[in-house]
Amino acid sequence: MRDRPMSDREGATRCPGCGARVADSDGPTHPYLGAAPGCWALYGEVLAREYGELRYPEIHRLTVDAYAAQHPGVPSRRSIQSVAVHLVSLHLVLDRGIDPVHATGAIRRLLARRPCLAWLDPPPRLGATTVADLLGAGTAAEHERRVRSWAIDVWAAWAPHHAAVRGWADLACEER
């Protein structure tokens, strides 16, 4: 039931992607990420903080990857590509220790090669940490710690598909 949020009596809803309890609203959402409007709004707050007071931290790459991988949506060309590249990036940064800037370059190379990407059935639970857990960070260091923990949690949730993601990552890192 990832395609519809479940409302409750207190004006809150569960995000169909990450499961966070968020404000029930009719606001905008992303065209192919599977997020409730309230969750999408929280993500916007986190991005505003990263672009503003945190001055676009290096950890931003993991913020984007964790959010997208935790909100896979439903099978479509764009969502298949999104899940694939964001999981590849999580793998490159977290497992291979690649600098986030270089991970961005790797996913661009992967897409330029037009690989055959397949839909990965999302696991039943996409991690216990959500974008909502980032909001209380009082310092840049605390924000970074929370983002890294979230990214690790999301990547671990996708363990059934790590072999496929590693294969795509190898393709992204191949020299032409």
CA angle 158, 19, 32 (to 5 degrees): 70
Backbone angles phi, psi at 52, to 5 degrees: -95, -100
Could you give the CA distance from residue 110 to residue 176 in angstroms, rounded to a whole number? 11
pLDDT digits (tens, 9 = 90+) for 93-144: 999 999 998 999 999 999 998 888 999 999 999 999 999 999 989 999 999 9
pTM higher than the cut 0.85: yes
End-to-end CA gap in the chain: 42
Alpha carbon distance 12, 164 (integer Å): 36
Instruction: Give pLDDT tens digits for 34-70.
Output: 999 999 999 999 999 999 988 888 899 999 999 999 9
* Burial grade of 139 (CB within 10 A; 0-12, 13-18, 19 or more): exposed
CB 134 within 8 A of CB 145: no
CB 86 within 8 A of CB 65: yes
Q: Of 80, 78, 92, nearest to 30 (Cα)?
A: 78
